[in-house]
Structure 1
Amino acid sequence: MSKFDFSPMPDANGYFGEYGGQLIPPELKTVMDEINTAYEEIRQKPEFQQELADLFADYVGRPSPIFYARRLSEQLGGARIFLKREDLNHTGAHKINHCLGEALLAKYMGKTKVIAETGAGQHGVALATACALVGIPCEIHMGQVDIEKEHPNVVKMKILGCTLVPVTRGTATLKDAVDSAFEEYLKDPKNFIYAIGSVVGPHPFPKMVRDFQSIIGTEARQQFQQREGKLPEYVTACVGGGSNAIGMFTAFLDDENVNLVGVEPAGYGLDTDKHSATMSLGKPGEIHGMKCYVLEQEDGTPMPVHSIASGLDYPGVGPQHSYLKDLGRVQYDTATDDECLNAFMTLSRVEGIIPALESSHAVAWAIRTAPTLDKDQCILVNLSGRGDKDADYVAQKLGL
């Protein structure tokens, strides 16, 4: 029996402990409650579960495999490193898991347009893909800075038929894209649906996205036991909003001997203002309709944040992550931009796997930690996405 009590999470009002909720205008609360009701209805339907399972198997290519990074492990010494290969999913990342669920929900509710934000473009590509599959219009808001960094994903979204809206306000990155998309959604919340790209925002999105992403950990736990005859001593994933991490961690929450580690962007360093280390340096606050840990300026507004990985530069974090931090069940650590780049190149050249810059934060933690552990211990890394989208940017950055 676990010393932690994880049920129910969230409660009926969408709170994980003191975090989460619906910090939104009353008229929007009605719409969110309708989405929650529709989600609870649809998830109980065997035909929906079967359709989603079939799409996961035949469209996404699940289950994604677990790969033993033998050469990397031998070079580092210490613990053996394993990778959960979400980068092998259709569209190249974990995002397709919840995008299929959200697109099917939008169709079930009779919505006329799906609106979303994207940072690195993985959520945008996955949602544009899912919307093309179910036949519903899709509009993606993306910061101009990220558009320039993530050109391959921008092209894919346009090919898939979505309307791409460049966002030039503020820092022109993920937080500003969220603001822009939310404003568009508010124009007609009755007919539009905002398909949030992570376990953030007002209830029910942190719950809903977690549920769709939990297949990662469910598969990984079973696969690892079958392969190694035990559970890994450490499970790690990168954390921005936190969807791939919650997707991986959920299945392991009751396994007290499994250490769960979320890795945030330290950017240029925690002693600078160029980072996105929300859990490490933030404090409880409010952002985008929820209570969670937030990086704030002195006036209480969200801090302009930085990460080399466009999908992680967000000043908030999922409310369940905030709760798990306070509970002490998950440890939150960081990796700098330099460590991330080193991990990106190391995994590419030692194992022939080019990881997303987001995922490279978790790989960096594993590279740093493995030599400090015994050889009979194992680290399971959620390799949340592939690095095709980052290849040109990294090559330019490193002068390759």
Structure 2
Amino acid sequence: MPSTVAVVGGGYGGITAARELDASADVVLVEPRDTFVHHVAALRGLVDPAWVDRIFLPYDGLLERGRVVRDRAAAVDPRGVVLGSGERIDADFVVLATGASYPFPAKFAEHDSAEAKARLRAAHAELAAARGVLLLGAGPVGLELAGEIKAAWPGTAVTVVDPAPDILAGPFPEEFRKEVRRQLEELGVELVLGTALTAEPATAPGRAAPLTAATESGRTISADIWFRCHGTAPHSDYALDGGLASARRPNGGLDVAPDLRLPGHETVFAIGDVTTLPEAKTARNATTHAKAVAAGVRALMEGGEPAPYEPLPPGIVLPLGPGGGASYSPETGMLDAATTAQIKGETMMVEHYRELLGVA
């Protein structure tokens, strides 16, 4: 009898792990959303309504042998998953791929795609009417959103505030940051670095309303709408009971061994944003984790042991609108705007995920 593998979470890591194991195990993918959400293209969907329907992709064609169960994991233990409905799915192996939350519009909290699309379109209408935008966070999301806004509405003032002294924390060369800063300046994006706001705006993020914000350095910034572009929270409440709590950190992250198994649990793996691995929380890294875990599960099914996960070198693909941006990895060095657009900026990798999910 083939082994049963419960994959909890249908994001980038979850769909990859489920697809990789579909031919060799009975896979059950547990996911509360009614569609896969291609969050990589969410910021493009905010500024261009033509993209909204493209980033919500059905799960129907993902698995040939396995099945997708639309429900949340209420509790997980080494031998299975208890769903929100009360049903239990017994499993020989469990892969935790539940990811982490992130502020809208980079991610959506809604499980119903119709509600998420409506929220995205409403935010687009509010943003389109704004003359000034305030973004909190000069990391990849904040800068990508700044580039998308300026590409769509060149006349809209965009100000990015971050307490860090420079943009893009991480192991990137100064040449890369210099090129990103140059393009942002050319677009007219103002960077206010090395200071934080004395308080967040009183209005809700993503809702149009005139606001004035003060920085700790004494600067006053006026805008019509603002977005928070920092802050993640791993989804792992299901691990509070059932024997997995020892792997859960206070912030919700799950500790993993070098082979991506939870310490002390030979049949439970965790991948992607829910882990405490000291890596960027990206679709690329989640996909790499998923492939390593799929190989590890197959090794265990055949009587072997999983190999240690080998992290990818740190890299970044940062579009600044459909035709701008820059990329970097140790293997390729820095790549220009045209190459960045070919990798991600123009297509946002939608076709790749349509193919993975078997979308006609």
TM-score by length of 1: 0.30
TM-score by length of 2: 0.33
Which structure would you say has the larger RCO, counting Cα contacts within 8 Å and 6 or more residues apart? Answer: 1
Higher strand share: 2
| Larger-gyration structure (1/2) | 2
Higher helix share: 1
